[in-house]
């Protein structure tokens, strides 16, 4: 295999040592013969122990999660070394090849293959994952959120390179509950198709399974801050409610819905026409692309005539993902919605859907302008791309997911989060019941 560079061929060979597999299997059969078959009582076998062959292994994640300065400095230096940069890159072709043997792929990558608790099994989730590149990141995200009782729809941008499509298709074909969206669109930044990608997954998820309780949408740069069990518990405590940003639209954003826009050469621009008010005089609220909503909300999106009209109306607006979900959340009769009155406004900080750090809101605790501490990674379009130094703060937040991560720029942030979700955390809850 010419395309396999030595560094990571070694890594993945080590993942799949016969010894490692036997160890897992023997622990598995121990569980099977235990007095309470079905759910595991100890999590140790889930640890990513084989990941100790990754180039990130020299980092002490316990120290990083505690925010220890020396260790963070070390991590930062490591990230910028040439060797490290070379070793962490995994080409798309690797996945096309590795996913040929699904059993081995799931075993060596340590996917969770059975529900870890009765509570989780009885509360399946539906995920929409909208991605366009970086198969490596996608696979780590899928692995982090994967549970066999959940269902996952993956939308790969229609303009993505063929190798990205092929690699992600190969991965999804290893799981009966992970599938490619039936209709992929060409996603244009700030354009309607960003919403259409999620809508297509919503329709497929709604049609494929009748049992899931909540819908969560993800993009390739998200990563969970909670385990599946914690996500289930957080959602149950919403008691049927939805959790997403939905607040008054700032004056400077109003032009996004009063002017008409169109896509020209893959870019969105004004047509020069103005738009009529929204149908049924629905008040337009401001929010973001990421939502946590119950099944009834999704049914309304697909079937409610008022929402169908709103969707048609929104197709020539600017960045409809940043107001459509927020607006639907305040339409009377939508399951889990709240009244349009301002007192029900919810900010992104109070919602649990996503933690995003905007550069303009960073600062120190005493400042009236500041919403969160300064970004320890770097910024892309005024949004923080988290560094390892952000983890200590991130894992204390109530949000289920955070955005943005970049597995190429700061792989240690993701590496330590993965370890935390599988290892640090479950250690505190070895007895599930």
Ligand X SMILES: *[C@@H]1O[C@H](CO)[C@@H](O)[C@H](O)[C@H]1NC(C)=O
Give the nearer residue to ligand X in terms of CB position, either 60 or 163.
Answer: 60
From 59-67, 94-102, 209-217, 222-230, give the range in contact with ligand X by CB under 6 A: 59-67
CA distance 161 to 343: 46
| Binding residues for ligand X, total number by CB under 6 A | 8
Please, what is the minimum distance in Å from the beta carbon of residue 207 to ligand X? 4
Q: Which of 16, 62, 177, 424 binds ligand X (CB under 6 A)?
A: 62
Catalytic residues: 322
Give the nearer residue to ligand X in terms of CB position, either 57 or 103.
Answer: 57
List strand residue ranges (DSSP E) for 221-357, in order. Answer: 222-224, 247-248, 259-264, 267-274, 285-286, 292-294, 355-356
Token couple for 61: 């994640």
Task: Tell whether residue 21 is a contact of ligand X (CB under 6 A).
Answer: no
Q: Which of 5, 60, 186, 259 binds ligand X (CB under 6 A)?
A: 60
Q: Strand pairing partners for 216?
A: 127, 292
Please, what is the minimum distance in Å from the beta carbon of residue 202 to ligand X? 8
Provide the 3-class DSSP secondary structure of residue 237: coil
From 62-70, 341-349, 350-358, 411-419, give the range in contact with ligand X by CB under 6 A: 62-70
List strand residue ranges (DSSP E) for 207-258, in order. Answer: 214-219, 222-224, 247-248
From 10-18, 63-71, 237-245, 343-351, give the range in contact with ligand X by CB under 6 A: 63-71
Please, what is the minimum distance in Å from the beta carbon of residue 282 to ligand X? 22
Q: Which of 46, 302, 349, 383 binds ligand X (CB under 6 A)?
A: 302
Token couple for 46: 């889930």
Calculate the CA 121 to chain-centre distance. Answer: 20
From 57-65, 216-224, 340-348, 367-375, give the range in contact with ligand X by CB under 6 A: 57-65
CA distance 318 to 193: 11
Residue carrying structure tokens 């080590």: 14
Task: Tell whether residue 68 is a contact of ligand X (CB under 6 A).
Answer: yes
Residues ≥6 apart with Cβ < 8 Å to 373: 362, 363, 364, 365, 393
Binding mask 170-209 for ligand X (x = CB under 6 A): ---------------------------------x---x--
Closest CA to 270 of 197, 323, 191, 196: 191
| Pairing outcome for strands 401-403 and 355-356 | parallel
Give the nearer residue to ligand X in terms of CB position, either 62 or 397.
Answer: 62
From 58-66, 248-256, 327-335, 409-417, give the range in contact with ligand X by CB under 6 A: 58-66
Give the nearer residue to ligand X in terms of CB position, either 65 or 285.
Answer: 65
Please, what is the minimum distance in Å from the beta carbon of residue 369 to ligand X? 33
Give the nearer residue to ligand X in terms of CB position, either 85 or 208.
Answer: 208
Give the per-residue SS3 of 7-46: HHHHHHHHHCCHHHHHHHHHHHHHHHHCCCCCCCCCCHHH
Interacting residue ranges for ligand X, rule: CB under 6 A = 60, 62-63, 66, 68, 203, 207, 302
């Amino acid at each position: 295999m010419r395309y396999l560079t030595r560094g990571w061929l070694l890594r993945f060979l080590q993942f799949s040592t016969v010894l490692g597999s036997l160890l897992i299997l023997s622990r598995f059969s121990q569980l099977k013969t235990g007095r309470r078959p079905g759910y595991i009582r100890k999590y140790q076998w889930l640890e990513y122990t084989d990941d100790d062959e990754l180039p990130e292994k020299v980092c002490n994640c316990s120290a990083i999660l505690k925010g220890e300065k020396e260790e963070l400095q070390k991590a930062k230096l490591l990230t910028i070394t040439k060797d490290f940069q070379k070793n962490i890159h995994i080409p798309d072709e690797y996945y096309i090849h590795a996913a040929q043997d699904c059993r081995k792929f799931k075993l060596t990558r340590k996917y969770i293959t059975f529900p870890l608790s009765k509570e989780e099994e009885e509360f399946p989730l539906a995920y929409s994952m909208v991605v366009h590149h970086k198969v490596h990141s996608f696979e780590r995200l899928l692995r982090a959120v994967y549970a066999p009782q959940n269902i996952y729809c993956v939308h790969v941008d229609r303009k993505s390179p063929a190798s990205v499509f092929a690699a992600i298709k190969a991965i999804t074909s290893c799981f009966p509950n992970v599938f490619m969206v039936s209709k992929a669109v060409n996603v244009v930044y700030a354009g309607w198709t960003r919403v259409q990608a999620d809508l297509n997954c919503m329709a497929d998820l709604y049609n494929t399974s009748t049992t899931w309780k909540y819908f969560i949408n993800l993009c390739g740069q998200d990563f969970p801050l909670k385990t599946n069990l914690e996500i289930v518990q957080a959602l149950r405590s919403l008691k049927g409610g939805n959790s997403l940003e939905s607040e008054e639209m700032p004056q400077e954003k109003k032009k996004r819905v009063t002017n008409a826009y169109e896509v020209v050469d893959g870019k969105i621009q004004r047509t020069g026409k103005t738009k009529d008010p929204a149908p049924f005089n629905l008040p337009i609220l401001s929010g973001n692309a990421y939502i946590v909503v119950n099944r009834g909300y999704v049914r309304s999106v697909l079937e409610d005539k008022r929402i169908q009209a709103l969707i048609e109306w929104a197709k020539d607006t600017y960045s409809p993902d940043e107001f459509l979900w927020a607006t639907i959340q305040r339409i009377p009769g939508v399951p889990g919605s709240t009244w349009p009155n301002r007192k029900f406004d919810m900010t992104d900080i109070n919602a649990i859907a996503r933690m995003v750090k905007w550069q303009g809101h960073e600062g120190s605790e005493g400042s009236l302008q500041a919403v969160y501490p300064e970004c320890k990674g770097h910024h892309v379009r005024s949004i923080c791309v988290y560094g390892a130094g952000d983890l200590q703060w991130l894992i204390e937040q109530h949000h289920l997911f955070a955005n943005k991560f970049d597995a190429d720029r700061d792989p240690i942030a993701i590496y330590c989060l993965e370890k935390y979700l599988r290892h640090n955390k479950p250690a505190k809850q070895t007895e599930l019941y």
